[in-house]
Amino acid sequence: MKPRDIVDVEKKPDTCPACGQTLAEIHYGTPQMNAQLIQGLSTGSIKLGGCCTTGNDPQFYCAKCGKYYRVPKPTP
């Protein structure tokens, strides 16, 4: 994923701003497999993001159009 593939938004969108599809929340780190995670993965409401993070990673993903979204951290 290249930085230009990530769209910054002011707040968490309810649906994808580009196509209207429900967004998946991206979970980072080593997953602890449990019923809630398995259900989220099977329904598409959760996407695993891997264990390496930059601190400025996207938080949401649209499976329909492939766009990633993040709410940037406020600058001091």
- In a 3-state reduction of DSSP, which class is residue 25? strand
Alpha helices (H) in 1-53, listed in sequence order: 35-43
When pLDDT is averaged across residues 24-44 and rounded to a whole number, the result is 95
pTM: 0.84
Q: What is the DSSP letter of 52?
A: -
Task: Give per-residue pLDDT as tens, 4-22.
Answer: 688 999 998 989 999 999 9
Q: What is the pLDDT of residue 35?
A: 96
- C-alpha Rg value of the chain to the nearest Å: 13
